[in-house]
Amino acid sequence: MEELLVANGLHPDKVVHSRFGIRPQPHESHRPDAAGRVRIGFIGGLSEHKGTHLLISAVTRLQSLAQLELRIYGRTDLYPAYFEKLRSLADGDERIHFRGTFENDLIGQVFAELDVLVVPSIWYENTPLVIYSAQAAGCPVIASNLGGMSEVIEHEKNGLLFAPGDVTALAAAIERLANDRQLLEKLSANAVPPKSISTYVSELEAIYHSVLEVRCRQK
């Protein structure tokens, strides 16, 4: 976001880079699947630019991976035509489940039963908050190599990156983690805890105070 603003004319001296903070989540220990499946999650808006169709297409290509499950969380009523497209792409694949939404207080429970989060956006994201929530839960992330996503997820450290829109590359990343549980554990152990929302607010207040001080001296 900083790079795009400066590239479009904002003076660099007017920019302060401060990552989002999130509300602390109740600790939930990771619960491996009793059947040994690798559980992939998508959490977010079901709209074209979020790239959910790419994720479904990638999973359906991996028919040989019976021990794979895709859980898609998001409202299905906002873009009904797109949701019907997603259901058509899933085409009865019993490994793919549309789970609707959940209360924010339950996000720790949701991540406790996921092995990896996928963020396949095809536009520049200013770091989706769900990535920070995943990292707080120690959940590895597969993300498009774009903007604010690649700013938080370092390839082969706390997740995997793939070329935006590349279904083949996304499928390869999923297959890699499904077949390499040690890599999954390594990526989980390297999760980067995000700052708290209280720390974030304190940083914003400090910025406002510094601006006020300058304005007061100019009067």
Domains and their CATH numbers in the chain: 28-218 (3.40.50.2000)
For residues 45, 19, 150, 32, the Cα torsion angle rounded to the nearest 10 degrees is -70
For residues 183, 188, 191, 193, the Cα torsion angle rounded to the nearest 10 degrees is 180
Q: Looking at residue 77, what is its pLDDT?
A: 95
How many Å apart are CA 161 and CA 45, to the nearest integer? Answer: 20
How many Å apart are CA 73 and CA 103, to the nearest integer? Answer: 11
**pLDDT, tens digit (0-9, with 9 covering 90-100), for 137-170:** 999 999 999 988 999 999 999 999 999 999 999 9
Residue 197: helix, strand or coil by DSSP?
helix
Under 8 Å between Cβ of 38 and 115: yes
How many Å apart are CA 49 and CA 166, to the nearest integer? Answer: 14
Q: How far is CA 191 from CA 5, 85, 187, in A?
A: 28, 33, 7
Q: Which amino acid is it at 35? A: A
Residue 49: pLDDT band with limits 50, 70, 90: very high
Would strands 38-43 and 141-144 be described as parallel, antiparallel, or unpaired? unpaired
